[in-house]
Amino acid sequence: MAELALFKSTTAAAIRAATPPQLAKHFSCKRCSLHNTRRYVVLGEGSLPCDVLFVGEGPTRADNLTGRPFSGSSGRVLREAIDDALKRVDRTNGQLRLYMTYVVACRPCDSKRENNREPSAREVRTCLGRLNAVAQFASPQHVVLLGKVAHASCLDLFPGALKLYDPNYIHRQGGAGSCEYQRFVRELQDLFKGTKHRKVLRRRIRRIK
C-alpha cells in the first residue's frame, strides 16, 4: 500500500511554504512567553480545508525540533491509529482530508532543557485566536480533541467534538499493542465511516483579530 500523504517525511520549511498566507503570520507570534524557548511555531500539518481536524495539547520536544506536529513517539501512535482506521474503512488520506494542530502552537515548557508541562490558562487563552483562525480556514466536518487539555480548552470552540485519549497516554500504555489503542482506532473508524469526502471549494474566511 502506498504511504499516506499525511505520513510522508517533510520539513518545517515545506510546511511553512504550504501554509496559507492568512495563517502564516502566526509563525512569528510573540504574544506569550513560550516564544522565548521555542525553535519553531508548530502551526499544523495536513490538508486545508479538511474533513477531520485533530487538536492536541501542544508540541513535544521532538515537534519543536522538527516544526512538525505529532512527530515524536506519541505522534507515531496517532499516525498509525489513523492509518489503521482508514484501512478498516477502505479509505486513504487522498479521500479524506485530515489536518493536525495543537491548542498551543509553541512547546509548553519553562526552559529549553526542561520537560513539557501543561500550558497555562493564559497561554491557552492567548493561542485560542490562532486556533480559531485555523478552524475557520479548515472548516472541518468533524473535530477530534486529544487529551484533557484539549477537551477542557476547546469544547466551547468545537461543541460536539469527539473526545479521545492523548496519544502520549496510549504510548505509555504500550502503544499499538494496548487495549487503549484498539479502542482509539475503533472510535476513529466509526468517525471516518460517517465522514463524506467533500470537493474543495473556495471559502470566505472570517477575519480573526
Selection from 59, 27, 36 nearest residue 133 by Cα: 27
Residue 9 domain flag: no
Q: What angle do CA 148, 153, 156 make, to 5 degrees?
A: 125
Mean pLDDT of the chain: 88
Q: What confidence score (pLDDT) does residue 204 get?
A: 34
Residue 91 domain flag: yes
Residue 129 domain flag: yes
Residue 1 domain flag: no
Residue 79 domain flag: yes
If one counts the domains in the chain, the total is: 1
100-156 pLDDT per residue, tens: 999 999 999 999 989 999 999 999 999 999 999 999 999 999 999 999 999 999 989
Residue 3 domain flag: no
Residue 6 domain flag: no
Is the overall model pTM greater than 0.85, yes or no? Answer: yes
The parent domain of residue 123 ranges over 15-193
Residue 205 domain flag: no
Domain holding 127: CATH number?
3.40.470.10
Q: Helix or strand or coil: residue 100?
A: strand
User: What is the C-alpha separation between 182 and 82, in angstroms, rounded?
Assistant: 11
The 10 Å Cβ neighbour count of residue 172 is 14
Selection from 156, 96, 148 nearest residue 131 by Cα: 156
